Amino acid sequence: GEDVEQSLFLSVREGDSSVINCTYTDSSSTYLYWYKQEPGAGLQLLTYIFSNMDMKQDQRLTVLLNKKDKHLSLRIADTQTGDSAIYFCAETGRFGAGTRLTVKP
Amino acid sequence: DVKVTQSSRYLVKRTGEKVFLECVQDMDHENMFWYRQDPGLGLRLIYFSYDVKMKEKGDIPEGYSVSREKKERFSLILESASTNQTSMYLCASSFGVSGSEFPYEQYFGPGTRLTVT
C-alpha cells in the first residue's frame, strides 16, 4: 500500500526552529496535511498545502512541498513549550506514524 | 463549534467479549472513519463510511465490523475482543469530497482507550 513516513522524535530548545519532515508515495494526492495531537486529545488540523504549491506560510508555520521527491516539511519558528505535541503528516485518509516534538525550556 | 464525540474515554473489556464503540458527529458530515492509534505505527484506518448504510474496509479491518444506520452515528464493533485489539481508537468525520471545495479536513473525536485483558 501507499506509505507516509516520518521520524518519530524531535527535541528542540524553546525559541529555536523545529523542522519535521515527511515523505509520501501517492503522487495523486490533491492536498497534504499536518495535524497536531496534544496529550489526551484527538487530532486537529494544523495546516495543509495544495499539491500545486511549493510553500505555504501561516504565522509561525511554514510548509514546504517538493513534489518531485515527494517530500513535505513543517517548520515551526520560535518554538514554544506549548508546541510540544505529536505532529502527523497525512495524505487524504492516510497518516504517518507521528513525530513527537519535545520543547525544552 | 464542530464536534465529534465518542461514547467512552476509557474502556476495559475481557477477551471474547463483544465491544461497541460509538461515535457521533453534529456537523452533518457525509464521511466517517474509524482508526486505531498505536505507538510507532501512527493511525491506521479500520473502516470508513461515505453514506448511511455504506461502508468500506480500510487497511486493517480484520476482527472489526461497523454500522452506520444514521448519518450522525458510526459504530465500531469488536465481535470477540482479543488482547491485540488493545489500542486507542479514534473516530473522525469529514465532508464528502464532492460536497466541498475545501481541503478534505477530518475532524477527530478525543479517542477511546480500549484495554482487553
Q: Which residues contact A45 (CB under 8 A, 6 or more apart)?
A: A33, A34, A35, B103, B105, B106
Q: Is the pLDDT of residue B48 over 80?
A: yes
pLDDT in tens, A93-103: 788 999 999 99
Mean pLDDT value of segment B21-27: 95
Q: Which of A65, A92, A87, A91 is nearest to A76 (CA)?
A: A87
The C-alpha cell of A103 is what? 520543547
Shortest distance, CA A9 to any CA of chain B (angstroms): 10
The reply to whether B95 touches chain A by the CB within 8 Å rule is no
d(CA A82, CA A105): 11
> Given A33, A94, A96, which is nearest B103 (Cβ)?
A33
- What one-character DSSP code corresponds to residue B85? G
Q: Is the pLDDT of residue B30 over 70?
A: yes
Contact of B106 with B100, CB cutoff 8 Å: no
Average pLDDT over chain B reads 91
Q: Could you tell me whether strands B87-94 and B112-116 are parallel, antiparallel, or unpaired per DSSP bridges? A: antiparallel
The C-alpha cell of B98 is what? 464532492
Contact of B81 with B17, CB cutoff 8 Å: yes
Mean pLDDT value of segment B38-62: 90
Mean pLDDT value of segment B71-86: 97
Handedness of CA B61, B50, B76, A96 (dihedral sign): positive
pLDDT in tens, A24-76: 987 777 889 999 999 888 899 999 998 889 999 999 999 999 999 999 999 99
Mean pLDDT value of segment A84-99: 90
Contact of B25 with B32, CB cutoff 8 Å: yes
pLDDT score, position A16: 97
Mean pLDDT value of segment B52-70: 94
Q: Is the pLDDT of residue B73 over 60?
A: yes
Q: Which residues contact A83 (CB under 8 A, 6 or more apart)?
A: A18, A76, A101, A103
d(CA A3, CA A71): 12
Q: Which residues contact B99 (CB under 8 A, 6 or more apart)?
A: B30
Mean pLDDT value of segment B70-88: 97
Q: Which residues of A touch B (CB under 8 A)?
A: 1, 4, 8, 30-31, 33, 35, 40-45, 48, 50, 88, 92-98
List the Cα angle B63/B96/B100 in 5-degree steps: 155
pLDDT score, position B97: 61
Q: Is the pLDDT of residue A1 over 50?
A: no
pLDDT score, position B21: 97
Q: Could you tell me whether strands B4-6 and A31-37 are parallel, antiparallel, or unpaired per DSSP bridges? A: unpaired
Shortest distance, CA A36 to any CA of chain B (angstroms): 11
The reply to whether B35 touches chain A by the CB within 8 Å rule is yes
3-state class of A28 per DSSP? coil
